[in-house]
Amino acid sequence: MKAEVTILSKTRAYNFSAGPSMLPLSVIEDVAANLTNYKGCGESVMEMSHRSAEFKEILEDAEKNLRDIMNIPENYKVMFIQGGGTLQFAMVPLNLLRKSGKADYIISGTWAKKAAKEAEKFGDIKIVASSEESTFTYIPEVKKEDFRPDADYVHITFNNTIYGTHYPYIPDTGKIPLVADMSSCILSEEIDVSRFGLIYAGVQKNIAPAGIAIAIMREDLIGFAKDDVPTYLDYKVHADNGSTYNTPNCFAIYVAGEVFKYIKDMGGVAEMHRRDVEKAKKLYDFIDGSELYKCPVREKDRSLMNVVFVTGNEELDKKFVAQAKAEGLHNLNGHRSIGGMRASIYNAMPVEGVDALIAFMEKFQEENK
Ligand SMILES: *Cc1c(COP(=O)(O)O)cnc(C)c1O
């Protein structure tokens, strides 16, 4: 029996999940149309050899389009690596602790803390600044003099998914390579890649289904993993083999490539950013002007992607999340560690989703005076 493929576009919810999260509907529909037979080649991307001509083209196009939309300089390698953002927490120290064995970390949230904790297994890690004392409601300010001059690298988490903060500046680290986790903000703003030694991002927030991380790394930093580092964890192995040292996550790379094309066609990251600013501004303006809701994050450090808010009453917060879900506004609960609410409005969240959320928030406020 042949299954009917039904795309329930009209009954799709607005999914405010922090990740995995929404993908552009046109991309999902296009992927669905090609799911059983990719562009008439007779095979699905899920079944295809990673050494086939078809997949080679998918991979090359994905890299090329990412380079175009991010304006990645020639002396940077682009790698698609399995293990998500979390494996990068280990790969970074294993590859970049190459001289003094020291690295400096700025702690702006839970993910930054996890990254530092993992690095502590491998070297001398210093916490240069932290905003933990205020439950990470702001981004610490650091100056060049705050870093150890012989540190092998400095690590930051550019957007803090759980706390809804984002760096309003790129720290000046002088000659020390700057490493940034951009898992939850990549492709939401134009970035001068040359300011960073390494940018990495798990893809399931702004790019593709879960299963890979993208690493964008300056070439002169590649090749310093010690001999006892497992082969898969050496960036050089991925760079030298064009992300196909072993079988990659072909499907996630394929969808990522489709998303890069989608962004390119809409006018690039600048246009994406304009839309993201418009969405976030609407929501923050509403929260700031409301009587019931409050955003605890310092204004200049607010994230465009993760909007955190509370009513100040835990029971009411729970009621909000449950009622919103019943109206097709899914996953508005804050992270399990802090509670409250969080609306993740990544690139693929349409402005209509934000409008629907604000309309619900107004109604809920009226009903719970
Ligand atoms: C989600 C997230 C991670 C973890 O990603 P995984 O792919 O689940 O390992 C790391 N850093 C940030 C900033 C994140 O938002």
The Å distance, Cα 42 to ligand 1 centre, comes to 35
The Å distance, Cα 63 to ligand 1 centre, comes to 21
Residue 17, ligand 1, Cβ within 6 A: no
Question: What predicted TM-score, i.e. pTM, was given to this entire model?
Answer: 0.97
Query: At CB < 8 A and 24+ separation, what contacts does 275-278 make?
Result: 275/347, 275/351, 276/188, 276/189, 276/304, 276/305, 276/345, 276/347, 277/304, 278/351
pLDDT > 90? residue 5: no
The Å distance, Cα 67 to ligand 1 centre, comes to 22
pLDDT at residue number 72:
98
Residue 88 annotated as lining a ligand binding site: no
* Mean pLDDT, all residues of the chain: 96
Residue 165, ligand 1, Cβ within 6 A: no
Residue 257, ligand 1, Cβ within 6 A: no
Residue 85 annotated as lining a ligand binding site: yes
Residue 244 annotated as lining a ligand binding site: no
Q: Which atom of ligand 1 is nearest to the CA of 184?
A: 15
Residue 247 annotated as lining a ligand binding site: yes
Backbone angles phi, psi at 25, to 5 degrees: -60, -40
Residue nearest to atom 5 of ligand 1 (CA): 85
Q: Which atom of ligand 1 is nearest to the CA of 161?
A: 15
pLDDT > 50? residue 6: no
Confidence band for 7, pLDDT divided at 50, 70 and 90 = very low
Residue 183, ligand 1, Cβ within 6 A: yes
Residues 6+ apart with CB under 8 A from 109: 136, 157, 160, 161, 162, 163, 165
- Mean pLDDT to the nearest integer, 299-306: 98
Residue nearest to atom 3 of ligand 1 (CA): 85
- Mean pLDDT to the nearest integer, 24-33: 97
pLDDT > 50? residue 1: no
Residue nearest to atom 14 of ligand 1 (CA): 183
Residue 86, ligand 1, Cβ within 6 A: yes
What's the pLDDT tens digit per position in 69-121?
999 999 999 999 999 999 999 999 999 999 999 999 999 999 999 999 999 99
pLDDT at residue number 2:
46
Residue 82 annotated as lining a ligand binding site: no
Question: What residues are labeled active site?
Answer: 111, 181, 205
The Å distance, Cα 111 to ligand 1 centre, comes to 7
What's the pLDDT tens digit per position in 228-272?
999 999 999 999 999 999 999 999 999 999 999 999 999 999 999
pLDDT at residue number 10:
61
- Mean pLDDT to the nearest integer, 215-230: 98
The Å distance, Cα 363 to ligand 1 centre, comes to 33
The Å distance, Cα 19 to ligand 1 centre, comes to 8
pLDDT at residue number 369:
85
Q: Which of 177, 115, 104, 178 is nearest to 146 (CA)?
A: 104
Hey, which of 111, 157, 166 would you mutate to test ligand 1's pocket, going by the most ligand atoms within 8 Å of its Cβ? 111
